[in-house]
Chain A
């Protein structure tokens, strides 16, 4: 899966978790928390959906790697491939 596709998957998950947020103007290098009203419970849901939908596991010590869209893509792309 290409980095662009991984980005798309992450955005889809966020849209599913937070249906009332506007995701069209998300900046890739700014923390998601700063742009959206996401709290730690929502981040747990991103992790949960990654496992359920894409069989991708994110251990708790790696949660900080999901901070921005860029870091998500960097961290998740190799996981999507393997």
Chain B
């Protein structure tokens, strides 16, 4: 058996530069009681781990570390589970290398 050492995404995001648009999140999760399979998939599929389960079992998003890849939009916008836009001009991830 291969035992995976756990990967800390927070440590990876620490390398990156962001200009956070405080108070204007560009991704929003629709209020729900129980999350859809699409929403649950985002817990794993988001490369910045922006999606987390809260204590009541609902999916929440925190966009500060978002890399703006669009994966969550492709998975969960069609079902109406999330709303996804670009951040305002100049805000968000700022790649030094890309």
Co-assembled chains A and B: no
A: which residues have CB within 8 A of B?
A: none
